[in-house]
Amino acid sequence: MVKPPPRERSGSPAASFRARPGRFCPPTPLSEHPTGPRRGLDPAEPVTLPGVSAASTSVPGQSEDEGESGGFGIAVTREESTWKCAVLAPELLDDLDAVLTALRRVAASGPVFGMLSIDDEFFVLVRPIPGGAGLLLSDATAGLDYDIAADVLDLLHVPVPEEDDIDDDEPWPEGDLALLADLGMSEQEMQIVVDDVDLYPDEALAMIAQRCGFGSEFAAALEKV
């Protein structure tokens, strides 16, 4: 897919819009995402897959390969009251199946989920759940230009929008807005975050992390990106 150039950050206010309600994500069968050996989450080590080396030079909004998405991914776990965040290998940002597989291989008794920020354009929440996977895509129109966004829509059984049907000022989310409700981020609060077009995806994810209670751990992980 031909990706648009990353948008420039500026202080000018963006046009307001009314987001459409996000759709609930039907569980994705576990058989589609094999788990393999599970291991604990080490915040100092990028989460990757066997045979996939983690690059150490990628930064938000940049990519070592023109064909790869820029941005970052964070794997999040909670053991009792302790949160841990670790950077996902940048090679995974274009492959939703690989992200899910990596998250399923994290050994944790508590919740495990991923937070992806892609090219300063949109974010994705990915959470393995019993019987499948929960997903939230902040901007469904990204499915036109990004494979990982199109993959999210595919798992949600939502068609990629047609270019003729898109108003540039009216993106909308798809997926489960209540995906992190049990962790402190209600559906209504998530709707407010995805509705705010002034927020860049990393800022939106930082707000979500803060609301759930792992803001400092999230910020520390970003320093390693």
In a domain, 156, yes or no: yes
Per-residue confidence (pLDDT) for residue 129, from 0 to 100: 85
State the residue range of the domain holding 117.
30-222
In a domain, 128, yes or no: yes
In a domain, 164, yes or no: yes
Confidence of residue 107 (pLDDT cuts 50, 70, 90): confident
For residue range 161-212, list pLDDT tens digits in order: 888 777 665 789 999 999 999 999 999 999 999 999 899 999 999 999 999 9
Rounded mean pLDDT of the chain?
A: 78
The two tokens of residue 65 are: 């390969």
Per-residue confidence (pLDDT) for residue 43, from 0 to 100: 55
Report d(CA 142, CA 135) in Å as an integer.
15
In a domain, 24, yes or no: no
C-alpha 8 chain-centroid distance: 20
For residue range 32-56, list pLDDT tens digits in order: 444 444 555 565 555 543 323 333 3
For residue range 85-96, list pLDDT tens digits in order: 999 999 999 999
- CB contact burial 202-212 (16+ within 10 A = b; e otherwise): bebbbbbbebb
The candidate with the shortest Cα–Cα distance to 205, out of 111, 80, 121, is: 121
- For residue 138, report the phi and psi dihedrals to the nearest 5 degrees: -70, -25
Q: What is the mean pLDDT of residues 53-73?
A: 51
Report d(CA 133, CA 99) in Å as an integer.
11
Q: What is the mean pLDDT of residues 107-132?
A: 93
Name the helix (H) or strand (E) containing 148: helix 147-155
Report d(CA 175, CA 50) in Å as an integer.
29
Q: What is the mean pLDDT of residues 144-150?
A: 95
Say whether 192 sits in a helix, a strand or coil.
helix
Query: pTM here?
Result: 0.74
Q: What is the mean pLDDT of residues 217-221?
A: 98
Confidence of residue 9 (pLDDT cuts 50, 70, 90): low
Report d(CA 96, CA 12) in Å as an integer.
33
In a domain, 15, yes or no: no
In a domain, 149, yes or no: yes
Q: What is the mean pLDDT of residues 214-220?
A: 98
Q: What is the mean pLDDT of residues 128-147?
A: 92
In a domain, 73, yes or no: yes
Confidence of residue 70 (pLDDT cuts 50, 70, 90): confident
In a domain, 1, yes or no: no
The two tokens of residue 182 are: 């049990």
Per-residue confidence (pLDDT) for residue 8, from 0 to 100: 57
The domain total for the chain is 1
